[in-house]
Amino acid sequence: MAPPSKDEASKTPVTQDSVTMVLRGMRDPETGRDPVSLGWVAGVSLADGAVTVALEVPPARAPALEPLCREAEARVAALPGVNACRVVLTAQRPAPAAAGGRAAGGRDTGKGTGIAPPGVRHIIAVASGKGGVGKSTTAANLALALADRGLSVGLFDADIYGPSMPRMLGLAGVRPQVVNDRLQPLRAHGLSVMSIGFLIDEDEPVVWRGPMVMGALEQLLRDVDWGVLDVMVVDMPPGTGDTQLTMSQRVTLAGAVIVSTPQDIALLDARKGLAMFRRVNVPILGLVENMSYHVCPKCGHREEVFAHGGARRTAEDMGCPFLGDIPLDMRIRVQADAGRPIVAAEPEGPHAAAYRAIAAGVAEALDAASATAPAAPSIRFT
């Protein structure tokens, strides 16, 4: 019987068993054992011929195991039915000790464990308790407004499942270059930008389990040549899950900006996000009320579609700054969809001024933090 043709083989669905079998045929050069028996395979994801494997290895050996990671990609990619393969190398980390990481009762209090880029002065998270409140739009415009203050700014899209920065910054379909084994961030509107969206097709779903997401986050922070930045703005995914905990526990965040709309249901989730960051000792730089009101462009009538002032009251109740409000305006949405956020597209307009006022509040908080940090040179926010 003749062997199947290449076309016929490509139609054969790949299985987890076949991927595992390939990994069992590999050998770790130090131990002589395969990744499966060593317990390094943290997950295997299959989606329409695309295979993603998460290898969780001892942190001290991670750099030396990069060739094994590439070998695994090549071997799995050669399987019938595999159209593409990505192997994510992450590292096992010991649980933080009670004195420096986990308090009695399981409360997480530890700070970063070394995955932050060394040349970045301050890292701030832009987060929300729920999706759909305009967090990514706020993150992009905040980054641009900080850059307008003369700062060197990076924008890291940490939303692995729903990356929006490639489209929002006019970079959809652009691929980053690799120089000396390090990814180079893309540039847009004066910002250094990185997103998982640059590495996958825009319509391709990211069907990954938690360890794969955490590995991807660590690699995008550690293996990207960010250079020297005054500020990195991190666009977080909504909610209070793995990504938020990874970023707050393994990266020393200078603070978090919480974005919400004014209605009660959104503010309930914003409170949860705020409480989560406080639990892991991340300073709250302030709350932003997005879609705060709408002004009719024809008659000038102001209407508070989702109520108004809820974020300010929440900030007062929870003892944190209120950074400002942003209206519900079609031009903000149109410009973001066109790849030119409103601060870049209409720098002299009222919406850009509103984002700059928020950036001023963030810069003031970061400047105060710099002033109280010993041996930390000022980066002159003002």
Q: Same domain, yes or no, for 200 and 62?
A: no
Query: To which residue do tokens 């050996």 refer?
Result: 61
Q: What is the pLDDT of residue 371?
A: 63
99 domain-assigned: no
Q: Same domain, yes or no, for 295 and 363?
A: yes
- The model's pLDDT over 13-57, given as tens digits with 9 standing for 90+, comes to 888 889 999 999 999 999 999 999 888 887 787 777 788 888 888
Structural domains of the chain, count: 2
Instruction: Over range 75-85, report the average pLDDT.
Output: 89
Residue where a domain stops, chosen among 45, 71, 91: 91
Q: Chain-wide mean pLDDT for the chain?
A: 82
57 domain-assigned: yes
Q: Same domain, yes or no, for 87 and 30?
A: yes
Q: Are strands 41-47 and 50-57 parallel, antiparallel or unpaired?
A: antiparallel
Q: Same domain, yes or no, for 144 and 253?
A: yes
- The model's pLDDT over 279-333, given as tens digits with 9 standing for 90+, comes to 888 999 999 998 888 888 878 777 877 777 878 888 888 899 999 999 999 999 9
CA distance 353 to 327: 12
Closest CA relative to residue 303, chosen from 341, 262, 335 = 262
**Phi, psi dihedrals of residue 110, rounded to the nearest 5°:** -70, 160
CATH number of the domain residue 46 falls in: 3.30.300.130
Beta bridge partners of 182: 179
Q: Report yes or no: 137 and 233 within 8 Å, Cβ to Cβ.
A: no
Residue where a domain stops, chosen among 49, 76, 91: 91
Q: Same domain, yes or no, for 296 and 354?
A: yes
Q: Report yes or no: 342 and 331 within 8 Å, Cβ to Cβ.
A: yes
Residue 8 has pLDDT above 70, yes or no: no
163 domain-assigned: yes
Q: Same domain, yes or no, for 179 and 270?
A: yes
106 domain-assigned: no
278 domain-assigned: yes
DSSP string, 165-214: HHHHTT-TT----EETTEEPPEEETTEEEEEGGGTS-TT------HHHHH
Q: Same domain, yes or no, for 144 and 274?
A: yes
Whole domain around residue 163: which residue ranges?
Answer: 120-372
Residue 95 has pLDDT above 50, yes or no: no
Residue 376 has pLDDT above 50, yes or no: no
Q: Same domain, yes or no, for 232 and 283?
A: yes
